[in-house]
């Protein structure tokens, strides 16, 4: 496609030859001459082989053809371009779940369960009793959805995920370790994505609730009675213990652990490999093993390193 056509359809501004034709879009280090290179930082603009660069506005001269998006819109813009190019080139095929529609004869649905319109269920998946799944969902292969689970519209649950499994509420009785499976439900609201091999436990006495537009990565564990607000993002290999309350628009990055019975305020960010052991206020950026604000954690680590060198 020509650059000017892409710019018009995606709401971008062109600086340079708008008649130049491109074949694909990729990262700066992988881009060839006919690709659109995505510049996440200024240095990407100058080191790429591509003649066309997608970036946010900047104020340095360049011999590249620039596709400029608004500040903060780089990721939505690259997704729009990728989808547009995929529509026009069969070799750039998007990952699509519609193939499951042709192989729906090998899944199990329990009694009194309701499946919404245009929802696709992949082979070897198991849907329990009294489950309600909304419209336009995709349940990929080898998914388990336990009894009394509620899933909203437009959700995607990837292969291997386990939703509404027994609560792991452990206690001691007569000197023995025991587990109570729970009587609560699992409720997942609309427009959520659950990653490969992730686990969401049902509530013990209350419900485990996932808000709208929540993205949960691969190999994530969400324990019993957890409440997650709208528009949150949980990255791969994170673990959320029981009865944790997470506000809206919270980002929890990879390999993070959250202790039970803590709360995380709206718009907070928990950086990778952190251990959250106490409540986190609104809008905080937390890192490290002691749940410190990120700036303070950097100062402490810097002090320890200087002390060690001395």
Please give the positions annotated as active site: 224
The burial class, CB within 10 Å (0-12 / 13-18 / 19+), for 201 is buried
Which residue bears the tokens 């628009």? 249
Q: Are 101 and 119 in contact (CB under 8 A)?
A: no
Contacts of 76 (CB under 8 A, 6+ apart): 69
C-alpha count within 13 angstroms, C-beta hemisphere, residue 295: 1
The CA distance from 271 to 275, in Å, is 9
The burial class, CB within 10 Å (0-12 / 13-18 / 19+), for 102 is exposed
Alpha carbon 57 to chain centroid distance?
27
Provide the 8-state DSSP code for 2.
Answer: B
């Amino acid at each position: 496609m020509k650059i000017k056509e892409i710019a018009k359809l995606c709401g971008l501004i062109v600086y340079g030859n708008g008649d130049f034709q491109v074949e694909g879009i990729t990262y700066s280090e992988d881009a060839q001459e006919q690709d659109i290179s995505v510049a996440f930082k200024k240095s990407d603009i100058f080191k790429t082989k591509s003649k066309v660069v997608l970036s946010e506005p900047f104020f340095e001269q360049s011999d590249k053809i620039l596709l400029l998006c608004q500040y903060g819109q780089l990721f939505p813009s690259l997704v729009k371009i990728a989808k547009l190019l995929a529509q026009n080139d069969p070799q750039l095929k998007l990952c699509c779940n519609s193939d499951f529609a042709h192989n729906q004869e090998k899944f199990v649905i329990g009694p009194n369960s309701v499946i919404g319109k245009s929802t696709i269920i992949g082979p070897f998946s198991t849907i329990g009793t009294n489950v309600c799944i909304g419209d336009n969902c995709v349940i990929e292969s080898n998914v388990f959805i336990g009894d009394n689970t509620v899933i909203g519209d437009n959700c995607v649950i990837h292969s291997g995920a386990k939703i509404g499994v027994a609560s792991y509420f452990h206690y001691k009785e007569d000197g023995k370790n025991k587990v109570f499976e729970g009587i609560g439900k699992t409720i997942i609201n609309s427009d959520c994505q659950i990653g490969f091999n992730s686990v969401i436990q049902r509530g013990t006495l209350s419900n485990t609730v996932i808000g709208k537009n929540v993205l949960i990565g691969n190999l994530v564990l969400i324990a019993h009675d957890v409440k997650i607000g709208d528009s949150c993002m949980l990255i791969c290999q994170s673990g959320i213990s029981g009865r944790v309350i997470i506000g809206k628009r919270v980002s929890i990055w990879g390999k993070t652990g959250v202790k039970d019975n803590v709360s995380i305020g709206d718009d907070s960010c928990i950086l990778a490999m952190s251990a959250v052991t106490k409540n986190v206020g609104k809008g905080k950026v937390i890192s490290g093993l002691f749940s410190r604000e990120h700036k303070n954690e950097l100062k402490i680590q810097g002090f320890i390193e200087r002390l060690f060198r001395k």
